[in-house]
């Protein structure tokens, strides 16, 4: 059985892409068959897996979704790239933003990505979708396609308001479009444990959301090593295998594995 997880937060720069890469490759290292989908026109996931010029790619998520809209036959191999660390990638580039505009007039526009994912999901154990920093139609499509949502939150401050908006959107999608949608958990990223401030925030997340929503036990420490990986085109496990970020993502991967399918 395949589990589809969207990595979502409408706030930018909170670690969505870094988490998608390192949980995705973490799951692959545990023997799981993994597909990563870039659902951000910035193409950061695509670039951080080593495809430095996403705009040069011919087939991307946008092409596939356009084919779904036009009811064209899709070959499931189309557009899938194979990364050296044993994950597959469906890339994205700037064309995705044009598609988001086009989708405005399409019938059942929230269900386009789901149609594709439902067709391909039997080939994988996990599909992770790296969402863009907005709650627009592309992110709604990802939520509709998913079994659960992983929410990275930057621990530098607690954006309570932003999180409430996000949780409201998730609950609306759950009510109207995707009954089975669950919240995988809130993940604290870029945590600096040298400051008490970070500890405060960690405990505030637990008190504000802990009972209602799972907060992952593992948090991701702030480290320049994490920032370097995106430029290297590989995971933290290859870039700095003995570091604390690799250890944190490894433990987080175990938590994800433990969560029921
Ligand atoms: N644990 C960490 N410690 C230090 N820097 C990090 C860490 N995780 C990610 N970064 C860096 O912070 C920046 C933002 O991370 P990332 O791209 O993963 O966020 P994002 O939420 O996907 O951003 P966007 O909203 O633009 O898609 C990147 O430069 C990344 O390399
Ligand atoms: Mg990103």
Q: Which atom of ligand 1 is nearest to the CA of 20?
A: 18
Half-sphere exposure (Cβ direction) of 113: Cα atoms closer than 13 Å: 30
Only one residue has tokens 């988490």, namely 19
Distance 224 CA to ligand 1 centre (A): 10
Q: DSSP for 224-238? A: HHHHHHHHHTS-HHH
148-154: strand order across its sheet: 81-82, 87-90, 34-39, 126-131, 3-7, 148-154, 182-189
Q: Which domain range does residue 131 map to?
A: 3-259
At 160 the pLDDT is: 61
Distance 43 CA to ligand 1 centre (A): 13
Cα–Cα distance, 24 to 152 (Å, whole number): 14
Q: Which of 108, 97, 98, 124 is CA-nearest to residue 71?
A: 108
ipTM score here? 0.99
- Return the ligand number nearest the Cα of 11: 1
Q: For the whole model, what pTM was predicted? A: 0.96
Cα–Cα distance, 68 to 172 (Å, whole number): 24
Number of domains in the chain: 1
Distance 176 CA to ligand 1 centre (A): 32
Percentage, residues of the chain above pLDDT 90: 77
Cα–Cα distance, 109 to 177 (Å, whole number): 11
pLDDT band at 6 (very low <50, low <70, confident <90, very high): very high
Mutate to test the pocket of ligand 1, among 10, 18, 245 (most ligand atoms within 8 A of CB): 18
| For ligand 1, atom 15: residue with the closest CA | 15
| CATH code for the domain in which residue 53 is found | 3.40.50.300
Over residues 24-62, the pLDDT tens digits come to 999 999 999 999 999 999 999 999 999 989 889 999 999
Are the beta carbons of 92 and 61 closer than 8 angstroms? Answer: yes
- pLDDT of 205 strictly over 80: no
């Amino acid at each position: 059985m395949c589990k589809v997880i969207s990595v979502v937060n409408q706030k930018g720069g909170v670690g969505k892409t870094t988490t998608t890469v390192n949980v995705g490759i973490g799951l692959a290292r545990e023997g799981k068959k993994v597909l990563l989908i870039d659902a951000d026109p910035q193409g950061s996931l695509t670039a951080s897996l080593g495809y430095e010029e996403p705009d040069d790619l011919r087939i991307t998520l946008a092409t596939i979704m356009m084919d779904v809209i036009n009811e064209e036959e899709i070959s499931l191999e189309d557009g899938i790239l194979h990364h050296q660390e044993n994950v597959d990638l469906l890339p994205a580039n700037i064309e995705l933003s044009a598609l988001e505009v086009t989708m405005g007039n399409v019938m059942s526009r929230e269900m386009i990505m789901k149609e594709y994912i439902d067709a391909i999901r039997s080939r994988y154990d996990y599909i992770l979708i790296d969402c863009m920093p907005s709650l627009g139609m592309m992110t709604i499509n990802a939520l509709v396609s998913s079994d659960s949502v992983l929410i990275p939150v930057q621990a530098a401050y607690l954006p309570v308001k932003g999180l409430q908006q996000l949780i409201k959107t998730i609950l609306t999608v759950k009510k109207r479009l995707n009954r089975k949608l669950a919240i995988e958990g809130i993940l604290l990223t870029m945590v600096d444990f040298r400051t008490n401030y970070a500890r405060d925030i960690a405990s505030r997340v637990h008190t504000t959301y802990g009972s209602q929503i799972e907060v992952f036990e593992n948090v991701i420490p702030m480290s320049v090593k994490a920032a370097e990986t995106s430029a290297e085109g590989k995971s933290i496990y290859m870039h700095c295998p003995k570091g604390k970020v690799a250890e944190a993502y490894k433990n987080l991967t175990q938590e994800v594995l433990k969560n029921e399918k």
